[in-house]
Amino acid sequence: MSRAISGCTSSHKPSGLRRDLTLEGRRLKMESPAAGVLPAAGCGLRRLVKVSISRVFAGSGGGVPRAQVKSTRRAKASPSPPASAAVNLLPDGRWTSVFRRTLRTWFDGARRDLPWRKNRDPYRVWLSEIMLQQTQVAAVIGYFERFTRAFPTVADLAGASEHDVLRLWEGLGYYRRARQLHKAAQTIVAEHGGVFPSRPDAVRNLPGIGRYTAGAILSIAFNQQEPILEANTVRLLSRLSAYRGDPLAREGQQLLWEFAEHLVPAHEPGLFNQALMELGALVCTPRNPKCEACPAAKLCPTRRLGLQAEIPRPKAKRSFEAVREAALLLSRADGKFLIVQSAEGERWGGLWDFPRYAVDAEQSAAAIVELQAKLKATVGLDAEIGDLRTTLKHGVTRFRITLAAYEATLLGGRLKLQGFAAARWVREGELAAFPLNVTARKLAQLIVKGKSTT
Ligand code: SF4
């Protein structure tokens, strides 16, 4: 197969320069399993580069595709075209059919028995996909079972209070997911008569449903030929195409979505998509992928090249910021404690917490004064701040937070709200009914048990 690089219109003659694709990593960015078009060495106005790809399949079942690039004219130094104009990850029909068949056979024997796989109810598929975002399967199972017991249908979820939804979601993190799930359920009831829509545009228009979640619902629940691309499949497809660019950048996303779209079959697309995710989760793991047990081993250029540690391209290391905060366990004469609800758009929006503030002061005496001023400014109350009850350490995104929790006694003032959505005085026993963030739950348990966790 010989084809001019996309975008070139020059008619210079070829010179026959050969390159090994694998040596061109930085320019080519990938070794296509069977690419039709590859970026060889740039394509300026003054030259034409032709790419010739030959694939050699080992064995009869479609073995490791090998690509060779023949540059037919020595290129002069000139800027390379944007890779997106030339890179193509799509394998040929033979590779694709062998891969589909191999994957399905493997999945029949390897699929995990997970509660959301008991049937193809779109509500359960949707709920599981939302819960699984950025969360491990093992952590989701218990939440999924409790949630579906409490809200067995979309209508049950739509009719619940946000308070109850968040309480059941408590501990799963990323609470915006729960609030959007709740809003989407209400939309389904209001606009679709409580029946989960099957039209792609209707599914994509629901709150909190992006391209991936829509693809999962449409393929798994409605058997529609829609692709998926999430963390496991980004990694798997990057390796199956030996894509060396950034898979999360715009170009990488576009290429991998095209690859996913190409792979998904018309027959049982949902099973195929689940098999892709399962292979990524169980075998093609981020570190030390189990290539020796992989059904796609013979089809995988990354394994052949020994680039499992380099593909997908490792993310830049994140820098963390140390932050000091303080929570006030503020009680009044009747023994009730003050809790406040985080406003929408804030960290933990919708959840409840003890009044909590960033602390700038270095010295403890100055920190007490600072906390008293912040309490007055946000809830209008005066308090005497007493002993340090406990210190908790936890991480939120890039912040590493040290949270000091102080006992505090109400002196006076009039409750007002500035920066919080709501405030309540509650008894110890009532704290269990409120959706609290993870540190507030620990503090609530500390209050109830009456002993320190330090
Ligand atoms: S052979 Fe290895 S790197 Fe390739 S898809 Fe399988 S587990 Fe991933």
Residue partners of 97: CB distance under 8 A and separation at least 6: 62
Q: How far is the CA of 271 from the centre of ligand 1 (A)?
A: 20
Q: How far is the CA of 100 from the centre of ligand 1 (A)?
A: 15
CB 368 within 8 A of CB 359: no
Cβ atoms within 10 Å of 58's Cβ, excluding its own:
12
For range 72-87, the mean pLDDT? 38
Question: Using CA atoms, how far apart are residues 257 and 260, in angstroms rounded to an integer?
Answer: 5
Question: Using CA atoms, how far apart are residues 201 and 196, in angstroms rounded to an integer?
Answer: 12
DSSP 8-class letter at 399 = E
Q: How far is the CA of 279 from the centre of ligand 1 (A)?
A: 9
What is the tens place of the pLDDT at every residue in 427-440?
999 999 999 999 99
| CATH code of the domain made up of 96-305 | 1.10.340.30
| Dihedrals phi, psi of 35, to nearest 5 degrees | -65, 145
Pick 50 or 352 by higher pLDDT.
Answer: 352
Nearest CA to ligand 1 atom 2: 291
CB 355 within 8 A of CB 330: yes
What is the tens place of the pLDDT at every residue in 110-153?
999 999 999 999 999 999 999 999 899 999 999 999 999 999 99
Q: Architecture of 321-449 per CATH?
A: Alpha-Beta Complex (3.90)
Supply angle C-alpha 212, 240, 17, rounded to 5. 125
Ligand 1 is surrounded, with C-beta below 6 A, by 236, 239-240, 283-284, 289-291, 294, 296-297, 300, 302-303, 308
Mutate to test the pocket of ligand 1, among 303, 304, 305, 311 (most ligand atoms within 8 A of CB): 303
Of the pLDDT bands very low, low, confident and very high (cuts 50, 70, 90), residue 87 is low
CB 168 within 8 A of CB 147: yes
Q: Write down the H helix ranges in 196-309.
A: 200-204, 211-220, 231-241, 250-263, 269-282, 301-305
Catalytic residue, from 24, 129, 230, 278: name it: 129
129 is annotated as an active-site residue: yes
Q: What is the pLDDT of residue 136?
A: 92
What is the pTM (predicted TM-score) of this model?
Answer: 0.76
Q: What is the pLDDT of residue 346?
A: 86
Of the pLDDT bands very low, low, confident and very high (cuts 50, 70, 90), residue 77 is very low
For range 370-379, the mean pLDDT? 97
User: What residue spans define the domains of the chain?
Assistant: 96-305, 321-449
Q: How far is the CA of 257 from the centre of ligand 1 (A)?
A: 19
